[in-house]
Amino acid sequence: MPAAKLNIVPFVSVDSMMKLVLAIGVERFLTELATYIEEDFRRWELFDKTARVASHSHDGVIELMPTSDGHLYGFKYVNGHPKNTREGLQTVTAFGVLADVGSGYPMLLTEMTILTALRTAATSALVAKYLAPKGARTMTIIGNGAQSEFQAIAFKAITGIDRLRLYDIDPSASRRCAKNLAGMGFDITICASGQEAVEGAQVITTVTADKQYATILTDNMVGSGVHINAVGGDCPGKTELHRDILLRSDIFVEFPPQTRIEGEIQQLDGDHPVTELWQVMTGKAAGRTSDKQITLFDSVGFATEDFSALRYVRDQLQATGLYEELDLLADPDEPRDLFGMLLRADKKQGGAKGAA
């Protein structure tokens, strides 16, 4: 832990997070983060697991995502408000805490808006390593908002994807995405429709923001042998895929009790078979088994992935020093004398005023 004083908690601001990512390098950051995520999926059975605690409103959702491996405890506060972009605000914002289970003391407080985008992309590419067709090089990204560049770079770093087909109902979003990715080793095609975008792609990523039962992919758009990375459907009442695609696919999920409420499979019967990712990563279940199989990652994001991201960031702080020290915890000389600490502070302030 970087800070020596018990009352001091390392805080990673947005500025520090950007400096940390750039100091490490985006591709390396995503690759190393994916390793942490995979490590935690492989020890899945050690974690406390619960579907995220969500507070829904007409405008969006505010969620808490907690988990613990018995030694560390982590949680993320995150919102999802699709209307925010119309007001010049982010759709998703987040912060997170990592704490020591033994003492209950927080060990890290960090921004997680940027970090969530990174961990979502790292998880997508990690899963594709197990599920995408062998040798896949072309990916469609439908929905070219805040996640799209992160997804592209993660897939390039982890799976070798280097050809992108972009589509968004707002063409300027696709142009911005292509501009941001220029010079990063991609062959990029901006497409005029979702149908055009999926042509020739081995991986299809859907990552739209609107909170509605949408049909971003229709059944006729999806041929055999592809991997679908369905990222945008992540809360009740928000989906992207036609139901018939789900019925043709082998579906892989993070935590079924959460995904059945929030993911694409909210469209299906509650007993529809799915495979848990941790089982694939530990060899207890098969991933892709044939060239003609349609695999679908019904991605909603789970607390262990945020836990992994918090662990990764914590482990980078000692070497980089990219954090601030927050005087966050009361630390009286006598642990039971919290009020006395307040009185002593009052005396110090009085003394300072008297000297003035």
- Give catalytic residue positions: 234
Measured distance CA(336)–CA(341) in Å, rounded: 10
- Residue 296 vs residues 67, 130, 306: alpha-carbon distances, Å: 25, 11, 22
Measured distance CA(126)–CA(269) in Å, rounded: 28
Token pair listed for 307? 């836990």
Q: Chain centroid to CA 78: how far? A: 10
**Residue pointed to by tokens 């003492």:** 103
Residue 158 has, within 13 A of its CA and on its CB side, a CA count of 28
Give DSSP secondary structure letters for 66-126. EEE-SSEEEEEEEEE-GGGGGGT--S--EEEEEEETTT--EEEEEE-HHHHHHHHHHHHHH
Token pair listed for 251? 């579906």
Residue 50 has, within 13 A of its CA and on its CB side, a CA count of 12
Measured distance CA(190)–CA(226) in Å, rounded: 20
DSSP, res 310: H
From the CB of residue 190, how many other CB atoms can be counted at a distance below 10 Å?
Answer: 18
Beta bridge partners of 67: 74
Nearest to 18 by CA among 117, 140, 120, 107: 117
Phi, psi of 276 (to 5 degrees): -85, 140
CB 242 within 8 A of CB 267: no
Q: Which helix (H) or strand (E) holds 65?
A: strand 61-68
Beta bridge partners of 213: 239
